[in-house]
Structure 1
């Protein structure tokens, strides 16, 4: 199979390689219920040593730069209560955590969740967190620019491998809300 983006030696429908995915991601693909068929989600094998964006794009294809998204876990606090959410923004932008995200979560304070908290709650590896297979009840804020893309490169739950997911499918994930302006220009 040829991946819809990039130049990957190994591209397969995610449904055909559930054993390459961490438990929560494999279960989400196995029980997929969106309007986009699960077979349209593509798993691509990647070298974790080439994960840095510049090196990744140079190795796997320049068309990936504008079609890659980062999934970050945010902790929102109000009093003694802490809630978690995921934000999905283009890799060329940064999530508006202290403004838009904080307000959407109804939190007094919002920040990136610590690495051990993010990996412990999601069951995913740091550097591979994906919006596919997040814990039940979590809000998943998806930047409108991500949802509008034909395919988006996101993590697979592990540092090795990525998923290519149609943007409209990301907008249909459990708890997903498409948010205009979630991704801010990256700082220089």
Structure 2
């Protein structure tokens, strides 16, 4: 399947393009649930990727890892917003997680905890105890580009696939624009 200038094929057929946790999570998936395409790793970041591969930022979803704190407890969650939107970290996300303090997780820590690469972190294959907050505009989108866990590839999935993920909750967490 072609999307933008990329040619996608079933991700289950190409585990070499996926981070290990992502490949494990997709091992039993239907081949039509997640498609994968190899990309130039130097173009993995949203703006460069979209410009080069002729894909609108609105057709991609960024996976942002947040670190929540309340008292002595610290926990992590993933938030999915379309590439054209911003995450409402200090509003909707902080309230939903019932966190006293919420921040973007330090990148080194996010990489270590997820087993994925910067610029490729994806909700597919995250630790099983993490909540995945999916913006309602992501959940209703027909086809979205997301990370594959590596900088070498991108996944093409439906919003409904993301919304049906284990630990996923759909709610308005994005600031449009």
Cα distance change on mapping 1:105 and 1:20 into 2, 3 Å: same
Secondary structure at the aligned position of 1:39 is classed as coil
Native 8 Å contact 1:149 1:167 kept in 2: yes
Task: After TM superposition, give the deviation of residue 61 of structure 1 in Å.
Answer: 1.5
Tell me which of 27, 31, 34 is aligned to 1:41: 34
Match of 1:18? 15
TM-score w.r.t. the length of structure 2 is 0.94
User: Partner of 1:168 in structure 2?
Assistant: 160
**Helix, strand or coil for the counterpart of 1:49?**
helix
Specify every segment of 5 or more residues in structure 1 that has no aligned partner in the other structure, as ranges. Answer: none
* Aligned pair partner of 1:98 in 90, 95, 105: 90
Aligned residues between the structures: 177
Distance 2:135 2:144 in 1: 12
Could you tell me whether the CA contact under 8 Å between 1:86 and 1:140 is conserved in 2? yes
Q: Give the TM-score of the pair, scaled to structure 1.
A: 0.89
Cα deviation for residue 16 of structure 1 reads 0.4
Structure 2 residue 62 is the aligned partner of structure 1 residue 70 = yes
User: CA separation in 1, counterparts of 2:127 and 2:42?
Assistant: 28
Partners of 1:18 and 1:95 in 2: how far apart? 30
Q: Structure 2: how far apart are the matches of 1:94 and 1:140?
A: 16
Distance 1:128 1:171 in 2: 19
Distance 2:44 2:12 in 1: 24
Q: d(CA) in 2 for partners of 1:55 and 1:164?
A: 17
CA RMSD of aligned residues (A): 1.4
Alignment of 1:16-165 (within 5 A): 16-32=13-29, 37-62=30-55, 64-165=56-157
Unaligned runs of 5+ in 2: none
Q: Secondary structure at the match of 1:124?
A: coil
- Residue pair 2:12, 2:26 contacting (<8 A) in 1 also: yes
1 CA distance for matches of 2:139 and 2:31?
16
